[in-house]
Each structure stands twice: as structure tokens, then as C-alpha cells.
């Protein structure tokens, strides 16, 4: 166990908050596991714990000043960014989350985060009302979409006297998460994975289209996790307003026909195809070149089927491992297993829609994985966590098949 993190270079950011004292125990724990730890402190963090404490625990001088003339003469913030194999911010205050979400670079910690390509984990800590505030929720959602990993927070008594969510995760929990990430980091190294995500829009006329409520978050979470696990990742995305996950190659499409063409063009070079997109089943048979004017008469649309992308991939002679999704409002497992068998898929992810808090337009989801002869339910969780669980299942199947 003491060798588990040996050689790892971890940059530990400490932002302002009473939970900064827990970062001392975290530093010690990381060092005991063999990691090299470089601590960065914000000005606010130094009001709670002194830099000398972290220097003694880490064995390295603490860095805190973006304008240190000696360090910045050699571009110190770039040096720190290159040092980091993994970045952890614990505690991550509400102010810190806002800075990261909006890409600010006004202090050393936020600047290094922008300059580094290393995976980033955050352990939020703040008052329960600050954690529940819509601004904080929006900032966190933005960070999760970019592939940032959130550890905690926990619910309990707070230093201010309140009780609720916002307590920083315990150092042992943060260390356990880092250990798990390290074990998973290269589990898909050398693999090539193609993922479709988001909705498709089928034009009625230049002003209107048929679409659906898919936000693309599940597919983008899978792409971010696949890239983080070492896979060569290609993401074919419908019309969504999401940032491209770090390490993924993105192809943008609009319609089901465009997605069908892009998937068939790319799939031959990949070992896995994950069809997370919510592709429209039908499209207007005769899209109009001019805007249809409103009248008092009923308007009828003639719809024709779109190509079945996942079935087309599953029918290829040299098919990859094919993973589908089944979003259902009723008889979830019955419909999902029927789709699995009818389309000859290797694995299908069944998720209930029409339930508040999960599925379309949400950060959380609940999946049941089904395959010929078996199934496995995943507990409700953020889509980022479900993405990792799905990819670990896929990695195990690739290994079993000797692919």
C-alpha cells in the first residue's frame, strides 16, 4: 500500500476556508503513500493555516504568489503546471469554484489550473447555503462537463453552526479516490473508442425542426472519462452547447443523416462504439426551403424513418464492441432487452426518462446495464461517475475477448 502512489507528482491547491486544516492531514497521507506533493495556497488559505506547516509536511517550499519575481523569472506558473501529474484542490471554496468555472487567472492557483493539462479533482467545502446556491450549482456543472472530478462534499455539522451539505470530504476519502483514479488512468490505454452524443435536429423548414431534450451530458461525460482512461477518443456530437472534453477529437453534426454518415466513416478505425446520442427516429419527408406561414388550418407533417445507426454498426462484418442506450418511460428493462436482442448489441444502458432529477437535461442519471444473459444496476449518481463505471465494464469485456 505504501508504494501505491510512489513517483506520483501531485499539486495540492488549498483555498480559503476553515477546512484548510484537513489539507494538512491530506498532505501527510499523500507523502506516506510515496507521492511528491507541491502545495499552492491562496491568500485566503493563509489566514487559516501557515505556509510553514505545509512546507514541513510536504518537504517543499509552498508557492502562493503569482508575482514572485524570483519564481516568475523562470515562468514559475508554467513550471508548476508541468510538474503536476494530478491536481487536487482541497478545500475548494465557492470562490475557487467560480474562478475555475469562468477561467480566471488572477492568482497563482487559478493560473496554474489554466496552464496545466493534468487531471483535476476538487473537494468542495463551504456553508450549506453557499453550496445550494444556483450560482455554485451552475459553476460545478460547468466544471463537471469539462471532466473535473468532484469528491464530496459531505453532509453534517458546520463550523458556522449550520447543518447540511458542504463539509469537505475526509482526507482518507480523497486519497482513496486518487488511488482509484490512478488504477483506472490507463485501463483503456491504446484503445480506440467512438462515441455519439446529444440530439439530432431534423429540419421542417429554415425556422423549425424536430428535436428532443437530450443535453449531450451523458455522452460527453463518457468521452471525457474515456480520454482520461487513456483511450483514443472520437466524439460525434449533435447540436449541443458543451465544451469538448480534454483529449477527445470532436466531429459536429446536426441531423441523423449526418450522424449516420460520420459514424460509418469513423467506426472502422475503432474497437468500441458507444451510441449515447438520442437520434431522432423520424424526419420530415419534404423539408421546406421557405418558412411555412401560419394559417388557421391544421398542419400535417409526413415523417419518414431515419437510418438506425447502432443497428447499422452492429451489422458490419468486422464490427466493434457495440454499446447502445435505451431511454424509456415505461417497462424499462423489457424494452431495453428487446432492443439489445433485436439490434444484436453487446451491451445496452437502460435509463428511465420522465422522472425528475435524472435522464434528459440533468447532471445525474441511473443506468441498468444489460447484456445477453445478464444485467447490472448502477446506483443513481452523477453522469461523470456512471461514465467511468460503464467504461470499466467495457474495459473488462475487451480484456475477456482478447481484443
Dig out the grid coordinates for 338 from the structure. Answer: 428487446
- Check: CB of residue 139 under 8 Å from CB of residue 168: no
Dig out the grid coordinates for 340 from the structure. Answer: 439489445
Q: Give the integer Cα–Cα distance in Å for 389 and 383.
A: 10
Cβ count within 10 A of residue 136: 19
Cα of 178 vs its chain's centroid, Å: 16
DSSP 76: H
Q: What is the largest CA-CA distance in the chain?
A: 79
Which residue's C-alpha cell is 455519439? 196
| Residue-by-residue DSSP string for 173-221 | HHHHHHHHHHHHTTTTTT-EEEEEESB--EEEETTEEE-----SHHHHH
Active-site positions read 160
Q: Give the integer Cα–Cα distance in Å for 178 and 200.
A: 37
Q: Give the integer Cα–Cα distance in Å for 400 and 403.
A: 8
The answer, yes or no, to whether the previous bond of 87 is cis (omega within 30 of 0) is no
The answer, yes or no, to whether the previous bond of 153 is cis (omega within 30 of 0) is yes
Of 150, 124, 142, 116, the residue nearest 245 (C-alpha) = 142
With the C-alpha atoms ordered 128, 129, 133, 136, is the resulting torsion angle positive or negative?
A: negative
Query: How far apart, in Å, are the Cα atoms of 32 and each of 26, 54, 145, 151?
Result: 10, 14, 32, 21
Element of type H or E holding 27: helix 20-32
Spatial CB neighbours of 95, under 8 Å, sequence gap ≥ 6: 15, 16, 44
Dig out the grid coordinates for 232 from the structure. Answer: 483514443
Q: Give the integer Cα–Cα distance in Å for 345 and 255.
A: 23
Cβ count within 10 A of residue 75: 12
Dig out the grid coordinates for 261 from the structure. Answer: 454518415
Amino acid at each position: 500500500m505504501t508504494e501505491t502512489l510512489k513517483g506520483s507528482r501531485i499539486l495540492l491547491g488549498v483555498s480559503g476556508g476553515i477546512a484548510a486544516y484537513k489539507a494538512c492531514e491530506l498532505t501527510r497521507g499523500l507523502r506516506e503513500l510515496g507521492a511528491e506533493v507541491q502545495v499552492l495556497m491562496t491568500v485566503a488559505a493563509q489566514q487559516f493555516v501557515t505556509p510553514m506547516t505545509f512546507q514541513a509536511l510536504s518537504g517543499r517550499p509552498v508557492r502562493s504568489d503569482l508575482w514572485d519575481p524570483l519564481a516568475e523569472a523562470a515562468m514559475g506558473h508554467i513550471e508548476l503546471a508541468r510538474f503536476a501529474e494530478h491536481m487536487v484542490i482541497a478545500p475548494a471554496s465557492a470562490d475557487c469554484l467560480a474562478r475555475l468555472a469562468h477561467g480566471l487567472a488572477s492568482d497563482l492557483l487559478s493560473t496554474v489550473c489554466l496552464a496545466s493539462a493534468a487531471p483535476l479533482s476538487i473537494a468542495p467545502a463551504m456553508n450549506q447555503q453557499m453550496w445550494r446556491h444556483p450560482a455554485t450549482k451552475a459553476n460545478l456543472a460547468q466544471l463537471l462537463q469539462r471532466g473535473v472530478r468532484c469528491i464530496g462534499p459531505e453532509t453534517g455539522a458546520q463550523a458556522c453552526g449550520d447543518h447540511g451539505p458542504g463539509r469537505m470530504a475526509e482526507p482518507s476519502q480523497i486519497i482513496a479516490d486518487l488511488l482509484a483514479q490512478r488504477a483506472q488512468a490507463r485501463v483503456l490505454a491504446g484503445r480506440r473508442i467512438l462515441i455519439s452524443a446529444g440530439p439530432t435536429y431534423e429540419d421542417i423548414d429554415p425556422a423549425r425542426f424536430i428535436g428532443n431534450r437530450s443535453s449531450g451530458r451523458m455522452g460527453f461525460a463518457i468521452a471525457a472519462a474515456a480520454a482520461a482512461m487513456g483511450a483514443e477518443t472520437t466524439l460525434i456530437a449533435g447540436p449541443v452547447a458543451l465544451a469538448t472534453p480534454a483529449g477527445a477529437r470532436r466531429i459536429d453534426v446536426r441531423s441523423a443523416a449526418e450522424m449516420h454518415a460520420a459514424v460509418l466513416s469513423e467506426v472502422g478505425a475503432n474497437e468500441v462504439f458507444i451510441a449515447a446520442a438520442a437520434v431522432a427516429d423520424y424526419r420530415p419527408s419534404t423539408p421546406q426551403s421557405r418558412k411555412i406561414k401560419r394559417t388557421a388550418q391544421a398542419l400535417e407533417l409526413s415523417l419518414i424513418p431515419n437510418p438506425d445507426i447502432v443497428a447499422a454498426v452492429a451489422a458490419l462484418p468486422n464490427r466493434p464492441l457495440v454499446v447502445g442506450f435505451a431511454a424509456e418511460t415505461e417497462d424499462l428493462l423489457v424494452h431495453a432487452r428487446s432492443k439489445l436482442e433485436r439490434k444484436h448489441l453487446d451491451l445496452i444502458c437502460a435509463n428511465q426518462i420522465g422522472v425528475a432529477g435524472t435522464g434528459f437535461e440533468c447532471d445525474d442519471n441511473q443506468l441498468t446495464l444489460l447484456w445477453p444473459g445478464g444485467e447490472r444496476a448502477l446506483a443513481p449518481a452523477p453522469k461523470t461517475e456512471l461514465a467511468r463505471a460503464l467504461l470499466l465494464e467495457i474495459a473488462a469485456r475487451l480484456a475477456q475477448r482478447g481484443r
